[in-house]
């Protein structure tokens, strides 16, 4: 296929990865963003390359448990109740997937995107300055005891189906492996062949520099509309003027929904409000990233400090932080890491793009030449490079040995 003039919209991990792989495929690539690279959801996350993150939130039984969980001040699920009436249709579609058949279908799709995450990040950065941010590591799930681990048998079955089998550490060996943990923590389920990013924002900024060094461009601009008057994309309109192109990749996370509306697709996508706290210059750190199952947060030893990220909250795009959500995270952090203290802390609130079926939109919108690469919910950092490689193959016309049907954006077209 002849080289194309391609515009990638969105300079987060997914957009930067897509731009690099497209450039390496021989295309002329311009990456644009209204802000600085890596400062959206790619800035605030758990920093983990969670290859085993194949289980959606909507597992069987969630519908029955949700009301109780929402009212439990010690469970990290929050709702801004004034926001709920506006989002009942999305919530109904979301919860309709909380059954065994759909959970397994979603897990298979997520495995495609995240299952080889570490290798994909290594391939993206090989021979570049960005490789310094990618760290190989184990990834542990922290449980109070064997009974709590056994209660998660369903999700571990899904992970095993995807090829991820944990090594269990129990008893006193837990604190030998991770001295930071409280003495009442009695089980670690340890995953091998994982990794993390030392500084997600620094990583994405360096990826944009890699793109530029390899012949691509980065421009600060805000997209206003698409020109598809000839049934396929010919240009985009921005606050910096009109930009002609042969193809477009839309990788703007939660901000993709209104742009998709201009193409006639009402994507059922909601912002899930996500939080992190970075404990800067802590006196102790874990040896490797971990998921604390009792608090549903991850803890990662980044170069900024101990980054703790988690909480599921639905409540729109307001930038007002929830004191209850942050308070619960701090409470759980103190319980799990009782000897840890830090000189200073950084709080962050951002917006994860949550499609109603928990699968990202990766593919062409009809035959418009517009390709989507958004909707990664909790797996954006983990799955960014794989998504970028898939997009490059799709745009270039390369055959892929994977089923991309689950990610087709036209699954949300009228009558689909």
DSSP of 113-162? HHTTHHHHHHHHHTTSGGGGGEEEEEEEEEESSHHHHHHTHHHHHHHHHT
pLDDT in tens, 174-207: 999 999 999 999 999 999 999 999 999 999 999 9
- pLDDT of 372 reads 98
User: What pLDDT, in 10s, does the model give residues 139-149?
Assistant: 999 999 999 99
Scored b (16 or more CB within 10 A) or e, 218-236 reads beebebeebebeeeebbbb
| pLDDT recorded at residue 414 | 60
Residue 61, helix vs strand vs coil: coil
Residue recorded with tokens 């200073």: 344
Give the start-end residues of each E strand in 202-304.
Answer: 217-220, 223-227, 235-238, 241-244, 247-250, 269-280, 290-292, 297-302
The third-level CATH classification (topology) of the domain covering 53-112+132-195+269-355 is: D-Amino Acid Oxidase; Chain A, domain 2 (3.30.9)
Instruction: Look at the block and give the residue holding tokens 């994909």.
Output: 120
pLDDT at 348 over 80: yes
Task: Provide the CATH number for the domain formed by 5-44+202-265+358-412 in this structure.
Answer: 3.50.50.60
pLDDT of residue 415 exceeding 60, the answer is no
Helices 88-95 & 62-71 angle (0-180, nearest 10): 130
Q: How many residues does the chain have?
A: 416
CA distance linking residue 388 with residue 16, whole number of Å? 8
Q: What is the mean pLDDT of the chain?
A: 93
CA 104 to mean position of chain CA atoms:
19
pLDDT class for 262, splitting at 50, 70, 90? confident
DSSP notation for 364-380? ESTTSSEEEEE--TT-H
Under a CB-based contact definition with an 8 Å cutoff, are residues 333 and 340 in contact? yes
Amino acid 62: pLDDT: 80
Task: Compute φ and ψ for 373, nearest 5 degrees.
Answer: -150, 65
Percent of the chain with pLDDT over 90: 78
Contacts 24+ apart (CB under 8 A), 83-89: 83/314, 83/315, 83/316, 84/314, 87/270, 87/314, 89/268
d(CA 334, CA 135): 26
Query: Looking at residue 283, what DSSP letter applies?
Result: S
CA-based nearest residue to 44, from 383, 303, 351, 325: 351
Helix residue ranges, H only, 310-379: 323-336
d(CA 18, CA 395): 10
Q: What pLDDT is stored for residue 310 in this prediction?
A: 87
Q: Which residues of 393-410 are buried (b: 16+ CB within 10 A; e: fewer)?
A: bbbbeeeeeeeeebbbbe
The Cα 319–Cα 11 span in angstroms is 21
pTM for the whole structure: 0.95
Specify the pairing of strand 305-314 against strand 297-302: antiparallel
The domain segmentation of the chain, as residue ranges, is 5-44+202-265+358-412, 53-112+132-195+269-355
């Amino acid at each position: 296929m002849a080289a194309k003039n391609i515009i990638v919209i969105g300079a987060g991990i997914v957009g930067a990865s897509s731009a690099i792989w497209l450039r390496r495929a021989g295309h002329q690539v311009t990456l644009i963003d209204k802000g600085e690279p890596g400062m959206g959801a790619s800035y605030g996350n758990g920093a983990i390359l969670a290859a085993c993150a194949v289980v959606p939130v909507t597992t069987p039984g969630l519908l029955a448990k949700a009301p109780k969980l929402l009212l439990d001040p010690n469970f990290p699920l929050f709702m801004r109740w004034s926001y709920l009436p506006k989002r009942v249709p999305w919530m109904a579609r979301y919860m309709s997937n909380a059954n065994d058949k759909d959970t397994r279908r979603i897990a298979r799709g997520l495995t495609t995107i995240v299952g080889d995450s570490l290798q994909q990040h290594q391939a993206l950065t090989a021979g570049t300055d960005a490789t310094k941010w990618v760290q190989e590591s184990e990834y542990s799930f922290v449980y109070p005891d064997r009974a709590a681990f056994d209660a998660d048998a369903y999700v571990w079955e899904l992970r095993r189906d995807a090829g991820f089998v944990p090594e269990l550490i129990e008893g006193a060996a837990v604190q030998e492996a991770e001295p930071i943990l409280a003495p009442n923590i009695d089980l670690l389920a340890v995953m091998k062949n994982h990794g993390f990013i030392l500084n997600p924002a620094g990583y994405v900024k360096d990826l944009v520099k890699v793109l530029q060094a390899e012949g691509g461009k980065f421009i600060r601009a805000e997209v206003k509309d698409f020109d598809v008057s000839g049934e396929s994309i010919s240009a985009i309109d921005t606050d910096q003027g009109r930009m002609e192109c042969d193809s477009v990749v839309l990788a703007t996370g939660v901000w993709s929904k209104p742009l998709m509306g201009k193409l006639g697709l009402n994507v059922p996508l909601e912002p899930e409000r996500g939080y992190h706290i970075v404990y800067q210059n802590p006196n102790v750190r874990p040896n490797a990233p971990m998921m604390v199952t009792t608090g549903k947060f991850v803890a990662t030893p980044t170069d900024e400090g101990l980054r703790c990220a988690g909480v599921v909250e639905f409540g729109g795009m307001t930038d007002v932080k929830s004191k209850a959500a942050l308070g619960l995270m701090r409470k759980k952090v103190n319980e799990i890491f009782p000897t840890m203290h830090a000189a200073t802390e950084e709080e962050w609130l951002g917006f994860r793009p949550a499609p109603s079926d928990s699968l990202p939109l990766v593919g062409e919108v009809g035959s418009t030449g517009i390709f989507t690469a958004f909707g990664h919910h909790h797996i954006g950092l983990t799955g960014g490079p794989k998504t970028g490689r898939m997009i490059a193959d799709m745009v270039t016309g390369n055959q892929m040995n994977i089923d991309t049907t689950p990610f087709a954006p036209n699954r949300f077209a009228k009558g689909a």
